[in-house]
Amino acid sequence: MKNTEDIHQLIRALSKAEKRHFKMSAARYSKSQNNYLLLFDAIDQQESYDESRLKQKFSRYAFGKSIHKTKYLLYELILRSLRPLSNSKSVRDQLEGKMQSVDFLFSKGLYEQAEILLRKVKKLALHYQLLPLQLRVLDWEKRLIHHSREATTLTRVEQLLDEYDRISSQVRIEMRYRGMAERCFQLEKLLPPGQYTLALGQVLDSQPIEDHRNAPSFLAQLYRRELLARRAFDAGQLRVAIRHQQAIYQNWQNASWLTEVFPQEFQRTLQSYLRYRLDALEGSSHKFVEVLDFWREYMPHRTSEEAEKLDLHLVVFDFIHNLNRGNLQICATRLLVIRDTIERYEALLDLSTKIQLYYHIGIYYFFVREFDEALEWVLRTQEKANRQLHPRSQRFCELIELMTRYELGEYEYLASAVRKMYRNLRQKPQPIRIESLILRSVRQLLNVSDSSQVKPIFERLYDSLQQIEDPTYQRNSLQTNVLYRWINEYLPQKSNEHFY
């Protein structure tokens, strides 16, 4: 636990069942450790973390004098108590437990029992297509072969070694495809569209992916199809991308038991499929319901709380998706759903999704010129972000706050805020051009003596934006559309052409 708010974020992220399990586990300890339950409940009741209030509340308790240490111990106790609960749900963790039992039996010299259990693990590893586990099983088979009651023959040893070579080769191929896919996922998050397209091409050209025979395992086929779908989507071939995604889901349907073994891969490919389908729908309301039903049908959720969480994530995803495409009418409809449910289900959203949602809601309200609401959501974004927002988005969040406060007439606040941002900007080794332009424009707007001087300032800002050649500056991005919509109020004849 590094940050003071980590314990609050962890507790608030737990489900009701997980909180109940922790309390039952903690109650088994000595009476003095019930202090952990007191601290747990107090932190859980806080909407935002406030350590000073905790110290005040527990000032009469002995642990209140060393609350930081108690928090750390509570954090460790929560993780330790929930470990068996999470392990029991995962097929891979259950098999890992069986492998530990094999190790224990071998250490006690119970070779026959270890071999019997190892056969069961191998059968399951084959069924669930867990190649790395199959390699570990083969390693144990090589160790046990000389302790077996059956006679060890050269043929049997050669069979084991041949099988080991074959599985090793499949693991290398699978990991190569996985590495390519992971590289593409990360590049998409970090690079602007033009650079991402170039980088994606370089990644895909590094290995042959066209021939399905080059991907011998289930996961290798999955990653291969994902890469092909990404290439098609980036090239604007939406139907081709959807066709590759449909092939992925045909594979999932044919091996439905693997959705529980590879839940992260299943959820990621499902979300990609939904993104492509939503792109193809162009915001149709009845089609949106069909996609929502598709999500509910295929996503393996066990509780109603998890189902509600998935539904809310999809609505949030669709709101952000349509905002980036400039579909403000659809965004208004989605925002009604979000605002109706956000207070009840806010705890179901992970912190990253919550921050992105607040950020985009602030941008939406700026677009529709509801500046009071825009400022509220921008400030909530900054409060929640705590350095977790992407640096580029963080900078734009601060700039949107400046533009919003200008429209609200908060000139006294702006004067000090602009000076502070100028000081921060000078400390950067390479100041961002667009930030400098906006700060300069706001400072000039604060010094105008009459309204006739406002339009020339926006004309200079517009002209300067047109001359930016920085590769990180994206002319059709969501952030630059915020700027052009702001300029549009003062220069409508120039900036309209830059909207979506």
Tens digits of per-residue pLDDT, 213-236? 778 889 999 998 988 888 888 777
pLDDT, residue 498, reads: 47
In a domain, 119, yes or no: yes
In a domain, 53, yes or no: yes
Can you give the residue range of the structural domain that contains 123?
Answer: 91-152
Mean pLDDT of the 332-339 span: 82
In a domain, 222, yes or no: no
26-40, 184-198, 449-463, 472-486, range with the lowest pLDDT: 472-486
Sorting pLDDT into bands at 50, 70 and 90, what band is 472?
Answer: very low
In a domain, 103, yes or no: yes
What is the C-alpha end-to-end distance of the chain, expressed in Å? 43
Which two structure tokens, joined as six digits, stand for 421? 């941002």
In a domain, 52, yes or no: yes
Percent of the chain surpassing pLDDT 70: 76
DSSP string, 193-239: HHHHHHHHHHHHHTS--S-GGG--SHHHHHHHHHHHHHHHHHTT-HH
pTM of the model: 0.56
pLDDT of 500 over the 50 cut: no
In a domain, 329, yes or no: no
pLDDT digits (tens, 9 = 90+) for 376-419: 988 888 877 665 555 666 677 778 888 888 888 888 788 777 77
Q: Within 13 Å, how many C-alpha atoms sit on residue 255's CB side?
A: 20
Domain identity same for 112 and 79: no
Interior CA angle at 21 toward 17 and 26, to 5°? 150
Domain identity same for 18 and 76: yes
Domain count, the chain: 2
pLDDT, residue 25, reads: 80
- On whether the CB atoms of residues 330 and 322 are closer than 8 A, the answer is yes
Q: Of 286 and 147, which is predicted with more confidence?
A: 147
- Domain end point (choices 40, 56, 87): 87
- Domain end point (choices 152, 167, 183): 152
Sorting pLDDT into bands at 50, 70 and 90, what band is 257?
Answer: confident
Amino acid identity for residue 403 in this structure? M
